[in-house]
Structure 1
Amino acid sequence: MRVISWNCNGAFRKKYKAIQELNSDIYIIQECENPAMTKDDEYKKFASNYLWVGYKNKGLAIFAKDTISLKDNGWKVYGLEWFISCTINDKFSLLGLWGCGGYIEDIYVYLQIHSEKLNNILIGGDFNSNSCWDKKHKRRTHSSVVNQLAGLGLYSCYHLIENEVQGNESKPTFFLYKKNEKSYHIDYFFYESEKVNNLEIGKFNDWIHLSDHMPVILDIKDGI
């Protein structure tokens, strides 16, 4: 199964065909409009199986192929931004997120609230965080989240594949102001290490005209 996370930088209805070419089973898309509000018939066709949360017309969505069962878990968010938890094919849970409000601090709190539910789960999205910024957040830090998930047997798929340490990533996922020299690694997947097949990050020249984020492409061993 292939799962992709991508912050599309808005106007997803004009960009979904590019990411669709990667032939993913599931897409976690940040900063996208609500498909229920669009007048674009082709976008509605693409978004035939989805969940969306957000404010006005900018939010977080999980899109899946029509052959996939996508069931909202209904986990409460208590005003934290933005999270979607769902069950895939009655086999495993998927938590998609966009660290948009309180950034890593919202993510830290959400994971604490739902810590007892974080089993047999894949977590992915735009965390808007990196351990290099830990000092800005006291206890609710990126490293605290990484350590909590590791304690549950969930590890950053990028760091497993690349054998790199948090905060010293060689492949960025985000380019501030779309500048190659202002690059950061802030998009992640966390999963059980034995279920990870491969992870790739989209190339700058292929995607920068569409977004300041690169898609993160994860192949896992869970079949459809």
Structure 2
Amino acid sequence: MTDNRKFRSLKTLVISGSLLSLTACQELPPFNFAVKDVPVSQQVVQADLRSITVNVAHPDEKTGHLDPSTDKALPAIKEALNDALNRATIFQDDAAKHVNLQATVLKLDPPAIGITMVTDMDCRYVITDRSTGVPIFNEVITSQGKVPMGFSWIGVIRAKESINRAVQNNIAGFLDKLEHSPITIARTSMSSAPVVSNSPDKTATTETN
């Protein structure tokens, strides 16, 4: 086996073990993709967000290494994305326009070994008008999670935390890009003060490929 294949095998072992610990490992801390300190958005998308889906890219969509165990993390990514949108209150529940949000993980490249653990992530976010089927927002967000030795001397814990940070930073990057996109208006420019929050319907599903 070549050195490169050995490296990839080790990387897969590390991330697979970490992702499986979502339900199996009690010793390691759980994954935590929740974004810290999400501010209320100063901009508003005049649309009611009806559903959120999170899936893994097809082979021809990938932008880099996509670990085979990435699908295990999709429910947690969706939960964190929904939570961040709720706290940002960027969508408008009483809007006439209804939209869907689809997040597709294009790359999730976790670390294998090292002092500073680094995870790279790409994710495409597409917001689609349900009445026309036309995307009104389509952006790929690139993020990175870095965890130094000082965080923990146990490598798998640092690797796991680097995944946490990569996902958190990706969702935060999406919120920032959305807030500053042309599809938003200033909250203060609205003629009234409607209740604005993200409330996907209960039929929203997490899709895997």
TM value normalised by structure 1: 0.25
More strand by share: 1
Larger CA Rg, structure 1 vs 2: 2
Question: Which of 1 and 2 has higher RCO (CA within 8 Å, sep 6+)?
Answer: 2
TM value normalised by structure 2: 0.26
